[in-house]
Amino acid sequence: MQALTNRGKQVSREPMSFMERIYLPNIFKGMAITFSHIFKKQPTIQYPEQKREFSPVFRGLHVLNRDEEGRERCTACGLCAVACPAEAITMEAAERMPGEENKYREEKYAAKYEINMLRCIFCGLCEEACPKDAIYLSETFAPANFTRKGFIYGKDDLLIPDKNKAPEEYAAAKGAARV
Amino acid sequence: MSEQPLFKVTIDNITVEVPAGTTILNAARKIGGDVAPPAMCYYSKLEGSGGKCRTCLVEVSKGSEKDPRPMPKLVASCRTTVMDGMEVKNITSDRVMDARSGVVEFLLINHPLDCPVCDQAGECHLQDLSYEHGKAGTRYEFQRRTFKKHDLGDKIQLHMTRCILCYRCVFTADQLTGKREHGVLDRGDHAEIATYIEKNLDNEFIGNVIDVCPVGALTDKTFRFKNRVWFLKPMDAHRDCPTCSGKVTLWNRGDEVFRVTARKDQWGEVEDWICNTCRFDKKQTSDWVIEGPRLIDRHSVISQGHYAGKVGIHKPTETFEAVHGGRQPKLLMDIHSVSEVNKPEITLSKLDRPAHSTDFTSNKD
């Protein structure tokens, strides 16, 4: 039979030598390795107190962006939903009424916008498809929850807080590393 | 005993025989596929249409059998009739492709490119044309031409900024309804489609201007912003209509009829004109006899939406019980008990205007 890899080794059936039979040298060798690790740099971090820096391409929880004046950028064009391979995004659009120009950037906006985080695979295709720079994957995690109901994220969960009105919450939603 | 002589034309090295008096465009459409030049203003069902947009330019490399000299300039294929032995180059000619990308650039000079907002996106001929023939950037540095929004009646929305002045809607109103009340006013850069003194267009067949519009300048107000076309399921349906043929395409999501349009053939042209009652007022599935799903080109974005709500009459069935020998699931979440989208008490398709913030009163902000 042909071997799948060239790394296979024939099992040695020879009787063990005296040094092997007393085991002690190998035990001390192993203990020495364990002992030497006390003096090495610890790779573990204490998570909730310490946080590791995210890589710049990290794809975390979605945020719906606002423009410089704090208006919602999303126009409910549906490109994120059609790009989504997991079919996680649904939305309903509405027309902007006179007097709502300070809330919505374009004449059409997403009245409802939902991401089903149980379906989402955080691939970032929605971010790529968005023609209005409205949806971004931030550098935060989707928090755990006890029920499945908590994973249907509506617009009030996703929409980023206004930068001018609540700068601290805005920074938290964007992710700790990219303030 | 043929009363008309057949002319032999060669378009992109493919030879067809067509009756005398056929235009190059129609001869190319007989071959079909990529050989047929795109047309933004020509409409085979409207007399006198064509010759305005210049997207159908082709190169005539041999005039005819008797006079084999090539035509010096590119000609508009929708307006040029074939001659016997004519040789035409469309996609095989670099000159044509170059000129066409120039034409697209001109058509897009004043076009707002608000496709994310526009209801026509996904079935827009200008979108397809610029995708296939256009350049990625624009060289235009000036203010784009803008107009105020017009309401042509209470069912038709006119966005003059998106208009490319193809005159199709003017011909439709003229030939179909016999009572035209809108036309093109002013000249040159100021030219615009308008009704004289904002007159309402009230005619049984005026809704067809929505279907003939190659861009999103004329859109259905009862469908405005309700949904994107690629999330809807097109179905062929008919009803017994006293004024028109009653053969339409329904655009459904689930059981809701979001939009009714005429059936369009492979060139994007209406097969049968439909009346306003069918188009705007019959938004119930029970009004229609459904024939089956409409065939859509699989390269079209319309066939890209796969969301479960689109499937239409077929509802997903719960298989858990059958698989587990009759045991009920301990935890089962019905998405509709949590989701705010597509609530049964807010039926968007029933509104005859776009949805407003007043329709979504449960929103927090």
What amino acid is encoded at A62 in this protein?
A: H
Mean pLDDT along residues A21-43:
93
Regarding predicted confidence, which is higher, B350 or B1? B350
Q: How confident is the model at residue B4 (pLDDT cuts 50, 70, 90)?
A: confident
Class of domain B6-106: alpha beta
Q: Is residue B351 predicted with pLDDT exceeding 90? A: no
Kindly state the tokens that stand for A172.
């938290």
Chain A residues with CB inside 8 Å of B342's CB?
Answer: 90, 92
Q: Does B142 touch chain A if contact means CB atoms closer than 8 Å?
A: no
What confidence score (pLDDT) does residue B311 get?
A: 47
Q: Is residue B196 predicted with pLDDT exceeding 80? A: no
| Tens-digit pLDDT profile for residues A95-139 | 998 888 899 999 999 999 999 999 999 999 999 999 999 999 988
Burial (CB < 10 A; 0-12, 13-18, 19+), residue A85, is exposed
Nearest CB partner across the interface for B304, out of A82, A108, A111: A82
Q: What's the rounded Cα separation, in Å, for the pair A88 and A95? A: 24
Q: Does A107 touch chain B if contact means CB atoms closer than 8 Å?
A: yes
Q: Is residue B86 predicted with pLDDT exceeding 50? A: yes
Q: How confident is the model at residue B364 (pLDDT cuts 50, 70, 90)?
A: very low
**Residue reference for tokens 């239409």:** B312
Dihedrals phi, psi of B230, to nearest 5 degrees: -80, -5
DSSP summary character for residue B288: S
| Tens-digit pLDDT profile for residues B6-23 | 999 999 999 999 999 899
Nearest CB partner across the interface for A91, out of B306, B341, B365: B341
Q: Is residue B313 predicted with pLDDT exceeding 60? A: no
DSSP letters spanning B146-193: ----EEETTTEEE-GGG-----HHHHHIIIIIS---EEEES-GGG-EE
Percent of chain A with pLDDT over 90: 52
Nearest CB partner across the interface for B356, out of A79, A95, A132: A95
Contact between residue B263 and residue B251 where contact means Cβ atoms under 8 Å apart:
no
Q: Is residue B177 predicted with pLDDT exceeding 80? A: no
Contact between residue B152 and residue B258 where contact means Cβ atoms under 8 Å apart:
no
Mean pLDDT along residues A6-28:
90
Q: Does B322 touch chain A if contact means CB atoms closer than 8 Å?
A: no
Contact between residue B120 and residue B157 where contact means Cβ atoms under 8 Å apart:
no
Q: B308 and A90: CB-CB below 8 Å?
A: no
What confidence score (pLDDT) does residue B1 get?
A: 46
Regarding predicted confidence, which is higher, B12 or B298? B12
In this structure, CATH architecture of domain B144-220: 2-Layer Sandwich (3.30)
The number of helices, as runs of H, and strands, as runs of E, in chain A is 6, 5
Query: Largest Cα–Cα distance in chain B?
Result: 85
Cβ neighbours for A118, distance < 8 A, ≥ 6 positions apart? A148, A151, A152
Q: Does A103 touch chain B if contact means CB atoms closer than 8 Å?
A: yes
From the centroid of its chain, how far is CA B203? 21
Contact between residue B17 and residue B6 where contact means Cβ atoms under 8 Å apart:
yes
Q: What is the mean pLDDT of chain B?
A: 86
Interface test with A, best of B118, B157, B228, B301 (most A CBs within 10 A): B228
Kindly state the tokens that stand for B215.
């861009």
What confidence score (pLDDT) does residue B116 get?
A: 92
Regarding predicted confidence, which is higher, B106 or B365? B106
Q: Is residue A179 predicted with pLDDT exceeding 50? A: no
DSSP letters spanning A133-167: S-EEE-SSPPPP-SSGGGGEE-HHHHBPPPTTT-H
Q: Does A149 touch chain B if contact means CB atoms closer than 8 Å?
A: yes
Q: Does A162 touch chain B if contact means CB atoms closer than 8 Å?
A: no
What confidence score (pLDDT) does residue A176 get?
A: 53
Q: Does B307 touch chain A if contact means CB atoms closer than 8 Å?
A: yes
Interface test with B, best of A79, A90, A92, A135 (most B CBs within 10 A): A92
Chain A residues with CB inside 8 Å of B307's CB?
Answer: 81, 87, 90
Percent of chain A with pLDDT over 70: 97
Pairing of strands B86-89, B150-152: unpaired
Q: What residue spans of chain B are helical by DSSP H?
A: 24-31, 94-107, 125-133, 168-172, 208-212, 276, 320-323, 335-338
Mean pLDDT along residues B172-191:
78
Distance from CA of A142 to the nearest CA of B (A): 18
Cβ neighbours for A159, distance < 8 A, ≥ 6 positions apart? A63, A64, A66, A72, B365
Nearest CB partner across the interface for A114, out of B307, B341, B358: B341
Mean pLDDT along residues B328-333:
81
Residue of A nearest to B229 (CA): A78
Q: Is residue B202 predicted with pLDDT exceeding 50? A: yes
What confidence score (pLDDT) does residue A177 get?
A: 43
Nearest CB partner across the interface for B360, out of A75, A79, A111: A111
What confidence score (pLDDT) does residue A131 get?
A: 93
Residue of B nearest to A81 (CA): B305
| Mean pLDDT lowest among A103-112, B106-115, B185-194, B322-331 | B185-194
Check: pTM over 0.90? Answer yes or no: no
The SS3 of residue B19 is strand
Q: Does A78 touch chain B if contact means CB atoms closer than 8 Å?
A: yes
Q: Is residue B315 predicted with pLDDT exceeding 90? A: no
Cβ neighbours for A22, distance < 8 A, ≥ 6 positions apart? none
What confidence score (pLDDT) does residue B356 get?
A: 87
Q: Is residue B312 predicted with pLDDT exceeding 70? A: no
Q: Does A81 touch chain B if contact means CB atoms closer than 8 Å?
A: yes
Q: A82 and B331: CB-CB below 8 Å?
A: no
What confidence score (pLDDT) does residue B143 get?
A: 87
User: Residue-wise over B96-127: b if at least 16 C-beta within 10 A, else e?
Assistant: beebbeebbbebbebbeebbbbbbbbbbbbbb
Calculate the dihedral angle through the C-alpha atoms of B283, B354, B216, B109, rounding to the nearest 10 degrees. 180
Q: Kindly list the structural domains of chain A, giving each domain's residue range(s) and its CATH number in brackets, ordered by start.
A: 62-174 (3.30.70.3270)
Mean pLDDT along residues B16-40:
92
Q: How confident is the model at residue B69 (pLDDT cuts 50, 70, 90)?
A: very high
Contact between residue B351 and residue B225 where contact means Cβ atoms under 8 Å apart:
no
ipTM of the complex: 0.81
Interface test with A, best of B340, B345, B358, B359 (most A CBs within 10 A): B340
Chain A residues with CB inside 8 Å of B340's CB?
Answer: 112, 114, 154
What confidence score (pLDDT) does residue B3 get?
A: 66
Distance from CA of B48 to the nearest CA of A (A): 36
What separation in angstroms does the CA of B130 have from each of B36, B40, B126, B138, B360? 16, 11, 6, 12, 36
Domain locations in chain B as residue ranges: 6-106, 144-220, 229-311
Q: What is the mean pLDDT of chain A?
A: 89
Q: How many CA atoms lie within 13 A of A120 on its CB side?
A: 24
What amino acid is encoded at B298 in this protein?
A: R
Kindly state the tokens that stand for B247.
């053969």
Q: B116 and A95: CB-CB below 8 Å?
A: no
Q: How confident is the model at residue A171 (pLDDT cuts 50, 70, 90)?
A: confident
Q: How many CA atoms lie within 13 A of B27 on its CB side?
A: 33
| Tens-digit pLDDT profile for residues A60-80 | 999 999 998 889 999 999 999
Q: What's the rounded Cα separation, in Å, for the pair B174 and B179? A: 6
| Tens-digit pLDDT profile for residues B117-166 | 999 998 999 999 999 988 888 888 888 888 877 777 788 888 888 989 88
Dihedrals phi, psi of B179, to nearest 5 degrees: -140, 70
Nearest CB partner across the interface for A90, out of B333, B341, B358: B341
Q: What's the rounded Cα separation, in Å, for the pair A73 and B179? A: 43
Contact between residue B50 and residue B79 where contact means Cβ atoms under 8 Å apart:
yes
Kindly state the tokens that stand for B76.
């508009």
Residue of B nearest to A132 (CA): B116
Nearest Cα to Cα of residue B219 among B277, B268, B155: B155
Q: Is residue B309 predicted with pLDDT exceeding 70? A: no
